[in-house]
């Protein structure tokens, strides 16, 4: 099938595509969760297992998603419909692409509020530097934030406004310009903060946590954790990667780009560990504190460390960049579909998507206080959205994408799209996407549903 041409936007360079893709993959949860999971599951031993899983599971499915996006040259539902029909299959496969958009939209409702927290704490860092903050004060400030609906709404809307302006400006003038500035800035901030920690103390303990192999912790649960991390951390089945793939010119190798994305994603997560955990260990904090680690325990460390004022600003600026670039990918896939499906100009579709998320984010905000007692299947609104998207839609969507690329899309179509691969490499990818990735994602799906 000849890719649909026309006015569909394309990246001006592979660098822009890589920055957008890595920015989408690296999110707030990834920055905290990966280093913590690494330490809890054997340090360097887990990293090795994760890399194997990433290349056996993550790389093949990410190649598949980008391939379908570029082949269809459109937003996920339209791209999958085009590719399916070109292979003589039912156009109903478009619903798998639609599942990715639904997952992205659902995630964004809750995620935009968390990014709002980051922006609020960035403001706190700039204005106070967390001077005099101890454990009690930090917990009270975090509780006060969760009780302030107007405050959370203001900062949530601020994050959405920044994201909306980027998308409103278009692929090249908006997304490209933003990511080619923001992602190098994030990498620079990570390096600067890691170097700061090297001299501030706690660095050796963090290195031991992340890179000392402890094979006594390695078991079946470790492998499952590595497989799950490899799937969730690279951002597949959310529509964003397939949309970014649709902007990818034909002369750019998908396979080579995917290898770079996975390595960069892993490197950022490990580097983030060298930013977060030295302060955690030096000040005797709990590395398993989850969201509270960032918003409750780290401010205590900032208050105690030399140069804590500057460190706190740079740290929350780095988190804000990671959050915004992920939001861009989540919203862009929905925006691109509305623009292409219904012929709505980008400016209007961007306002429509961002506006609808802003309205629904109010429910997410209220679920931290007023609506906390409202339950859906025993979970509050935010937990329900998280379960629905992360435990059901993402694994199921990833499974269906793998089945589509391996069994539905005819081999000549995929071979033409992946022509930069050698015959042996293509054969290996085709084997993995057919016989290895689907059963593994089925296990992730079943484990997620069963909790």
Structure tokens at 349: 């579709």
Give the DSSP H or E segment for 210: helix 203-211
CB-based burial, 332-346: b 16+ in 10 Å, e otherwise: bbbbbbbbbeeebeb
CATH number given to 14-450 = 1.10.4160
Whole-number pLDDT of residue 451: 67
3-class DSSP assignment, residue 253: coil
Whole-angstrom distance between the N-terminal and C-terminal Cα of the chain? 42
pTM over 0.85: yes
- Answer yes or no: are the C-beta atoms of 49 and 226 closer than 8 Å: yes
**What does the pLDDT read at residue 7?**
54
Is residue 285 helix, strand or coil? coil
User: For residue 121, which of 317, 292, 337, 282 has the smallest C-alpha distance?
Assistant: 317
* 42 φψ region: left (φ > 0), alpha (ψ -120 to 50), beta (else): left
Residue 376 phi/psi, 5-degree rounding, is -120, 105
Residues 6+ away with beta carbon under 8 Å from 165: 174
List, as own/partner pairs, every contact residues 336-340 make where C-beta atoms lie below 8 angstroms and the sequence separation is at least 24, other chains included.
Answer: 336/74, 336/75, 336/243, 336/246, 337/75, 337/76, 337/77, 337/78, 337/101, 337/239, 339/75, 340/8, 340/74, 340/75, 340/78
pLDDT in tens, the chain (451 residues): 333 334 578 999 999 999 999 999 998 888 878 888 888 888 888 989 999 999 999 999 999 999 999 999 999 999 999 999 999 999 999 999 999 999 999 999 999 999 999 999 999 999 999 999 998 999 999 999 999 999 999 999 999 999 999 999 999 999 999 999 999 999 999 999 999 989 888 899 999 888 888 888 888 888 888 888 888 889 999 999 999 999 999 999 999 999 999 999 999 989 998 998 898 888 887 777 766 788 988 898 899 888 999 999 999 999 999 999 999 999 999 999 999 999 999 999 999 999 999 999 999 999 999 998 888 878 899 999 999 998 899 999 999 999 999 999 999 999 999 999 999 999 999 999 999 999 999 999 998 888 6
CA distance 338 to 199: 50
Whole-number Å distance between alpha carbons of 399 and 53: 16
């Amino acid at each position: 099938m000849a890719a649909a041409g026309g006015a569909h936007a394309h990246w001006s360079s592979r660098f822009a595509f890589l920055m957008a893709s890595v920015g989408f993959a690296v999110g707030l949860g990834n920055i905290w969760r990966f280093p913590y999971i690494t330490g809890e599951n054997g340090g360097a031993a887990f990293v090795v297992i994760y890399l194997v899983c990433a290349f056996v599971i993550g790389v093949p499915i990410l190649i598949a998603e980008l391939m379908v996006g570029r082949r269809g040259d459109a937003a996920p539902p339209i791209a999958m419909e085009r590719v399916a029909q070109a292979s003589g299959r039912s156009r109903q496969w478009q619903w798998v692409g639609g599942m990715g958009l639904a997952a992205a939209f659902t995630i964004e409702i809750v995620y935009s509020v968390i990014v709002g927290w980051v922006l609020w704490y960035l403001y706190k860092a700039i204005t106070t530097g967390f001077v005099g903050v101890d454990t009690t004060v930090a917990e009270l400030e975090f509780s006060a934030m969760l009780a302030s609906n107007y405050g959370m709404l203001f900062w949530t809307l601020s994050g959405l406004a920044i994201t909306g302006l980027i998308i409103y400006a278009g692929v090249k003038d908006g997304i490209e310009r933003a990511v080619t500035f923001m992602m190098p800035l994030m990498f620079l901030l990570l390096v600067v903060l890691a170097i700061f920690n090297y001299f501030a103390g706690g660095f050796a303990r963090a290195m031991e946590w992340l890179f000392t192999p402890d094979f006594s912790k390695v078991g079946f649960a470790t492998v499952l954790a590595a497989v799950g991390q490899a799937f969730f951390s690279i951002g597949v089945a959310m529509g964003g990667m397939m949309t970014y793939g649709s902007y990818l010119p034909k002369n750019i190798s998908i396979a080579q780009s995917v290898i770079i994305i996975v390595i960069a994603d892993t490197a950022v997560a490990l580097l983030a560990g060298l930013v977060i955990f030295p302060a955690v260990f030096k000040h005797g904090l709990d590395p398993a504190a989850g969201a509270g680690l960032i918003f409750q325990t780290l401010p205590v460390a900032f208050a105690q460390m030399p140069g804590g004022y500057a460190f706190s600003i740079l740290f929350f600026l780095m988190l804000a960049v990671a959050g915004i670039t992920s939001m861009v990918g989540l919203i862009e896939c929905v925006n691109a579909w509305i623009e292409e499906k219904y012929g709505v100009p980008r400016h209007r579709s961007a306002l429509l998507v961002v506006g609808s998320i802003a309205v629904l984010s109010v429910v997410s905000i209220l679920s931290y206080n007023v609506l906390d007692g409202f339950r859906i299947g025993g979970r509050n609104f935010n937990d329900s959205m998280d379960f629905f998207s992360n435990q059901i839609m993402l694994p199921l969507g990833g499974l269906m994408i793998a089945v589509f690329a391996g069994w539905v899309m005819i081999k000549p179509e995929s071979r033409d799209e992946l022509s930069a691969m050698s015959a042996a490499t293509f054969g290996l990818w085709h084997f993995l996407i057919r016989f290895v990735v689907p059963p593994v994602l089925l296990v992730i799906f079943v484990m997620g549903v069963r909790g």
